[in-house]
Amino acid sequence: MRGRLARVPWSWLLIGGLTAGALIAFAFAPLALVLKEAGRGRFQWLFHELSEPGTRVAFLNTLAMSALVTAVAVPAGAALAWLLERTDVFATERVRTRFSALFAVPLAVPPYLLAMAWALLGNGRNGLLNRLGAGAWIDLYGLDGTVLVLATSAYPFVMLTAQANLRRADPSLEEAARVSGAGPWGVLKTVTLPLMLPALAASAGLVFVFATAAFGVPYLLGSVAEPPVYVLTTRIFQYISLGGADMLSRASALALVLLSTSLAAQSFASWIARRRSTVQVGGKAARPALLRLGRVRPFAQAGLLVGAALFILLPLGTIVWTSVARSFADPFDPTLAHWREVLAREETARAFAHSVLLALGAGALVAVLGLVVARLSKQFGRPGAVLAAMAASPYAVPGTVLAIGLLLAFAYEYRLIVLDTVTFALYLPGTLGLLLVAYAVKYMAFGVRGARAALDQIHPSLEEAARTSGAGPLKSAVDVVLPLVSPAVGAAFLIVALPCLSELTMSVLLFGAGTETAGTLLFELQSYADPPAAAVVATMVVAVAVAGDSLARRLQRRAEGRMPPG
């Protein structure tokens, strides 16, 4: 170990130390403050909770729900990525890009809004679909509806990660297989799929964790079902709202169960990713020749169109339509009153400006820090793995618990006084800074996992080549590694920035007077004014997200176009 550390340049040690310090201060300390509640009295509450039959039911429901969501979202996301990146399903690049952007949209829609839209469409009593069809033929309350909505929210993680992975994978491998006589499906099975596997495993881990930590959707669709379906997060919500001295301890004990489940799932995923990891020596990839789908093409096109219509346009259309419907009693009586009301509010523009700023900031922070942590974890072996796990664990903790931890940890002003002359003061409550910290901490997992999957595919010989040619460690990282992982970093940026645009769970606990965000505005309108006005904000969030997403894609394409091939 000593010998290995001695070979590490001091710049790496310094960066590593600073990153670890920041992670401990901002991500781990708040979590530890809450979780130490779970350890009170020699973990008596943990044992108490584990012995409760209700916990077992909620735990098994969580596992079943998360496994189903993963089983639906990962193949769907992978298939979409492959169709849109590697095949001629649509003839022009333009159309394929448009569809990629369209299929990424659910990422920007808060899952609980999708759940509300589906509840409106498919509740067993008088859902719109039931009114249109013959009798009550669909009832989305329960586990099936919960899985449907969560899978819709989660597949874009997989799709974006896999697309980034395919974009940087060396197409000459696939071409070689084709030249050697493999058919299109043979290439997919023997080359493309194994190439995608590490990224797929990493994102499957994240999808699983996303589902275990989800609260709004199982609450809206599960706890009103007959019989009600409870999961760990809805049970934690019950404990927190039951109030009382022991309840934070019991809730923390359950949060610890949730965290362990998630960490186990993530380690399993990264074990698979490492076991099946593929390394490539090639540099920057050229655009591959597209696979001809032939006779299957019309079916693939129809599948994409129907999928987009059913799972994206239908629920989003419902949200947009709600925003112009007079009320839920008269859904077919259009009015612009809600739009006028929301646009007339002085805080609407401010809230959106804050959200855009925070989303860009959190996305950039996570993309950069994620890359650094991933690079460090690759460099340092075991301590690096601890660092990566530390960065990834906040994602598995329910937003409410994380927000309480941040409130506890940052209630004070911290002053760093250097040599009694210079004072750096940090006082976060009620500022945008606290929200930025919350978002970045929560989503750090995406930056780390995405970058690590990409880094693992780069053969060390590339960097070594740069080093032997005289480049320093930082220069070789910037000149060689960075261009190769940039699609993954870009994907991480999008995956983080889009949900941050409308983040709600933590924001409603952490925002300050004058630092409203789109999420808090949404929550306020949803709970107090009228839900149609909330649909206006949701529509605006989606519009901003789509615009931002296509802008990011255009910039990325231009950047890729400038880079020399090969």
Partner 1 sequence: MRCAPLLAVALVAAGCRVEVGPPEARQTAAAAHGPSGTVMVYTSMYREVIDAVKPTLAEALPGVEVKWLQGGSEKLATRLDAELAAGAPQADLVLTSDPLWYERLRREGHLLPYASLPALRLRRDLIHPTGAYLTSRLSTMVIAYNSRLVSEDEAPRTFAALFDDRWAGKVTCPDPLASGTAFSTLAQLLHHEGPGLLARMKAAKLVASGGNSSAFTRLESGEHQVGFVLLENVLAARAKGSPVAYRIPDEGAVPVPGPLAILKAGPNPEAAKAVYDLILSEPVQRAIVAAHMHGVFEDLPPPDDAPDLTHVLDTRYRFTPEFVDATVEEAQAIRQRFAEAMGAP
Residues 259-318 that bind partner 1 (CB under 8 A): none
Report residue 257 CA to chain centroid gap.
Answer: 21
Smallest gap from Cβ 513 to partner 1, in A, equals 4
Instruction: Give the integer Cα–Cα distance in Å for 158 and 354.
Output: 28
Q: Which of residues 492-551 bind partner 1 (CB under 8 A)?
A: 508-514, 520, 523-524, 526-531
226 in the Ramachandran plot: left (φ > 0), alpha (ψ -120 to 50) or beta?
beta
Smallest gap from Cβ 512 to partner 1, in A, equals 7
Task: State yes or no: residue 13 binds partner 1 (CB under 8 A).
Answer: yes
Of 47, 271, 299, 412, the residue at the interface with partner 1 (CB under 8 A) is 412
Binding-residue total with partner 1 (CB under 8 A) = 73
Q: Considering the complex, state which of residue 13 and residue 182 has its C-beta at the smaller distance from partner 1.
A: 13
Retrieve residue 526's tokens. 């949803």
Instruction: Give the integer Cα–Cα distance in Å for 112 and 109.
Output: 8
The vertex-108 CA angle with 449 and 508, nearest 5°, equals 95
Task: State yes or no: residue 146 binds partner 1 (CB under 8 A).
Answer: no
Smallest gap from Cβ 179 to partner 1, in A, equals 50
Q: Considering the complex, state which of residue 156 and residue 218 has its C-beta at the smaller distance from partner 1.
A: 218
At 124, is the secondary structure helix, strand, or coil? coil
Task: State yes or no: residue 137 binds partner 1 (CB under 8 A).
Answer: no
Q: Measured on CA atoms in the order 142, 145, 148, 152, is the torsion positive or negative?
A: negative
Q: Are 517 and 351 in contact (CB under 8 A)?
A: yes
Smallest gap from Cβ 76 to partner 1, in A, equals 29
Q: Which of residues 431-490 bind partner 1 (CB under 8 A)?
A: none
Please identify, among the stretches 204-212, 243-251, 264-272, 449-457, the one whose residues bind partner 1 according to the rule CB under 8 A: 243-251
Task: State yes or no: residue 223 binds partner 1 (CB under 8 A).
Answer: yes
- The conformation of residue 466, written as its DSSP 8-state character, comes to H
DSSP H helices, 24-92, are 29-38, 40-51, 53-86
Q: Considering the complex, state which of residue 247 and residue 368 has its C-beta at the smaller distance from partner 1.
A: 247
Please identify, among the stretches 119-127, 205-213, 370-378, 437-445, the one whose residues bind partner 1 according to the rule CB under 8 A: 119-127
Q: How far is CA 25 from CA 30, 39, 153, 357, 390, in A?
A: 8, 20, 31, 23, 11
Instruction: Give the integer Cα–Cα distance in Å for 241 and 237.
Output: 6
Residue 424 pairs in a beta bridge with 416
Question: Position of tokens 């108490």?
Answer: 48
Q: Considering the complex, state which of residue 5 and residue 95 has its C-beta at the smaller distance from partner 1.
A: 5
Smallest gap from Cβ 426 to partner 1, in A, equals 10
Of 404, 440, 445, 501, the residue at the interface with partner 1 (CB under 8 A) is 404
Print the binding letters for residues 54-73 with partner 1: x by CB under 8 A, - otherwise: xx-xx---------------
At 424, is the secondary structure helix, strand, or coil? strand
Q: Considering the complex, state which of residue 349 and residue 411 has its C-beta at the smaller distance from partner 1.
A: 411
Which residue from 267, 83, 276, 131 is spatially nearest to 196, judged by alpha carbons? 276
Of 41, 180, 185, 241, the residue at the interface with partner 1 (CB under 8 A) is 241
Of 3, 135, 181, 244, the residue at the interface with partner 1 (CB under 8 A) is 244
Report residue 333 CA to chain centroid gap.
Answer: 37
Q: Are 304 and 95 in contact (CB under 8 A)?
A: no
Of 189, 275, 276, 415, the residue at the interface with partner 1 (CB under 8 A) is 415
Retrieve residue 301's tokens. 């096109």
Give DSSP secondary structure letters for 140-192: --SHHHHHHHHHHHHHHHHHHHHHHHHHHS-HHHHHHHHHTT--HHHHIIIII
Q: Considering the complex, state which of residue 240 and residue 253 has its C-beta at the smaller distance from partner 1.
A: 240
Print the binding letters for residues 322-351 with partner 1: x by CB under 8 A, - otherwise: ----xxxxxx-----x-------x-x----
Smallest gap from Cβ 396 to partner 1, in A, equals 20
Smallest gap from Cβ 431 to partner 1, in A, equals 11
Q: Considering the complex, state which of residue 180 and residue 241 has its C-beta at the smaller distance from partner 1.
A: 241
Of 400, 502, 517, 539, the residue at the interface with partner 1 (CB under 8 A) is 400
Smallest gap from Cβ 112 to partner 1, in A, equals 10
Please identify, among the stretches 40-48, 190-198, 368-376, 423-431, the one whose residues bind partner 1 according to the rule CB under 8 A: 423-431
Q: Considering the complex, state which of residue 48 and residue 178 has its C-beta at the smaller distance from partner 1.
A: 48
Q: How far is CA 24 from CA 239, 429, 444, in A?
A: 28, 19, 13
Q: Are 41 and 49 in contact (CB under 8 A)?
A: no
Residue 425 pairs in a beta bridge with 415
Retrieve residue 270's tokens. 């990264």
Smallest gap from Cβ 317 to partner 1, in A, equals 17
At 458, is the secondary structure helix, strand, or coil? strand
Instruction: Give the integer Cα–Cα distance in Å for 427 and 414.
Output: 6
Smallest gap from Cβ 98 to partner 1, in A, equals 34
Q: Which of residues 352-381 bind partner 1 (CB under 8 A)?
A: none
Q: Measured on CA atoms in the order 271, 272, 273, 274, is the torsion positive or negative?
A: positive
Please identify, among the stretches 188-196, 355-363, 399-407, 454-462, the one whose residues bind partner 1 according to the rule CB under 8 A: 399-407
Instruction: Give the integer Cα–Cα distance in Å for 266 and 262.
Output: 6
Q: Considering the complex, state which of residue 417 and residue 559 has its C-beta at the smaller distance from partner 1.
A: 417
